[in-house]
Structure 1
Amino acid sequence: MLAIDRKQFAAGVRWWQTKTNWPNDFHNSDYEVLAAQNPDGDFRDSWWVGFLPRLTTWKALRPLSQADVTSKFNENRDYLARTWHEACAPVKDLDITDVTWDQVRMFPGVVAWLKPTKSGSAVFPSKFCHFLLPRVFPVFDNAAVGGSCTYETYFGLIKRVWEATPAGLQAELVAELSQLIEDDGRGPLYEDFPMATKISELALIGRRHP
């Protein structure tokens, strides 16, 4: 069953809050900071030096070093800028419900060049892209959702899970997650919080960690 199950969503929230050291505002405050820092395709060194530590903190680089990935970033900076403007800029005000993989695939494809893997792991490209457009690009974490898949497969799964969920339940889950964020007390709900991708992620976490 693709549609979100309320019990699975609750289990995902519980796992997030009790089994990780991730913030209980579900990165609400981080998303506001990331939006303010978004270079909109102007990938300068001054942006990269602030972005790289976040990738490290989210364990996206291992086993490579920051120097390894920075070298690849410098080699592919122009390609990143070009594909951002072609694929991402036109959809930056939308969310995953209004975007297809074919529209945006060029950008995560170039991002994957910065940390090439034999398996085509979704971890690095998903986290890099999620930091830039969290409402469009879902984040993949092995410990949370498990399994080995390409980013295209995961993107499609998140999109189908959300779209298969009845509109009424979608609205209820948005209200529930909004209240959890407000109750955390770190600040008001960020107006562009990525509800569709985050709620779907939490539901998949709950399926893996019932």
Structure 2
Amino acid sequence: MQPIDREEFAAGVRWWQTKTSWPNDFHNNAYVELAALNPDGEFLDDWWPNFLRRLSRWRAVRPLSKAAVTALLVANREHLGGAWHQACAPVKDLDITGVTWEQVRAFPEVVARLKPTKSRSPVFPSKFCHFLLPRIFPVFDNAAVGDSRSRGGRGPSTPLTYEGYFNLVKETWAATPAELQAEFVAELTRLVEGEGRSPLCDGFPMATKITELALIGRRHA
């Protein structure tokens, strides 16, 4: 697996700062809000509207209507809670380096039922899961990282599933030398705190966000 290098990380940062409307703090304040509102497996009616609005702002719901996704949430609520308590609750204090896809897959697989797609696009499940456990579940964005497709060998491109993207992020970070990891953590901390003008939150997802920036840099450099 190709490790992160300084050039692609810097290119990803430039893309974030010049080509997007993402906040200057790279969602640091949003992670504080999301942690405070985390339902810990109790996906009840009073929690859902605010969470759904955030999903919509992150363009995760389209082309379905909010009503359609809500109906699917209600239909799958019991399974969603069960998958959370089985797969997520035991590891919720870890990050992506401390878990495997097999440990957590039950939850995103149920989440994907709320917005079924023929291509098994990772966009919706990645954003839903990222909002709940950002240190474990990386967020996938078509415009930033790619078009939800990967090329294997010499054959035609095939859809990139969330499992594939999760493992790409995990293995890319693991392949990056520890001294470079520390350098990237220090630089992203400086950017978030300097531009956002507030301290880095305790649960900021360093491994997933640094790797996201690097993958953006690979695509947009």
TM-score range, shorter chain: over 0.9
The equivalent residue for 2:175 is 164
- 1:87-132 CA-to-partner distances (Å, cap 9, x unmatched) read 0000100000000000000000000000000000000000000000
One-letter amino acid of the structure 2 residue matched with residue 92 of structure 1 = K
Instruction: Work out whether 1:204 is the aligned partner of 2:209.
Output: no
2:62 and 2:146 map into 1 onto residues whose CA distance is 17
In 2, Cα distance between equivalents of 1:109 and 1:185: 34
Counting only pairs closer than 5 Å after superposition, residues 140-179 of structure 1 correspond to structure 2 as 140-148=140-148, 149-179=160-190
Match of 2:42 in 1: 42
Q: Distance in 2 between matches of 1:192 and 1:106?
A: 23
Q: Secondary structure, in 3 states, of the residue corresponding to 2:140?
A: coil
The 10-residue stretch of structure 1 (71-80 or 183-192) with the greater mean CA deviation from structure 2: 183-192
Following superposition of structure 1 onto structure 2, how do residues 46-85 of structure 1 map, counting pairs within 5 Å? 46-85=46-85
The aligned residue for residue 154 of structure 2 is none
**Which residue is 1:188 aligned to?**
199
| Aligned 8 A contact 2:24 2:196 in 1 | no
**Residue 104 (1) aligns with residue 104 (2):** yes
Q: Does structure 2 conserve the Cα–Cα contact (< 8 Å) formed by 1:25 and 1:181? A: yes
Normalising by structure 2, report the TM-score: 0.94
Bigger shift: 124-133 or 177-186?
Answer: 177-186
Tell me, which stretches of 5 or more residues in structure 2 are unaligned?
149-159
More displaced, 180-189 or 96-105? 180-189
Specify the alignment match of 2:90 in structure 1: 90
How far did residue 185 of structure 1 move? 3.5
Q: Which amino acid aligns with 1:115?
A: K
Q: Which amino acid aligns with 1:159?
A: K
Q: List runs of 5+ in structure 1 lacking aligned partners.
A: none
Match of 2:16 in 1: 16
Q: Deviations over 1:3-56 (max 9, x none)?
A: 001100000000001000011111001001100000000111110011000000
Tell me if the contact between 1:161 and 1:200 (Cα under 8 Å) persists in the aligned partners: yes
**Aligned-partner Cα distance in 2 for 1:185–1:13:** 14
- Which amino acid is 2:44 matched to? R
Q: Equivalents in 2 of 1:80, 1:56: separation in Å? A: 20
**Do residues 113 (structure 1) and 134 (structure 2) align?**
no
Q: CA deviation at 1:67?
A: 0.2
Structure 1 residue identity aligned to 2:87: A
**4+ residue segments displaced more than 2 Å:** none
Rounded Cα–Cα distance in structure 2 between residues aligned with 1:130 and 1:25: 17
Distance 2:107 2:14 in 1: 33
Give the equivalent residue in structure 2 for 1:129: 129
Q: Percent identity?
A: 70
Deviation at 1:2, TM superposition (A): 1.4
- How much does 1:74 deviate? 0.3
Distance 2:76 2:212 in 1: 30
For residue 46 of structure 2, give the secondary structure of its aligned residue in structure 1. Answer: helix
Cα separation, 2, equivalents of 1:97 and 1:82 = 24
* Number of equivalences: 210
How many Å separate the matches in 2 of 1:207 and 1:56? 27
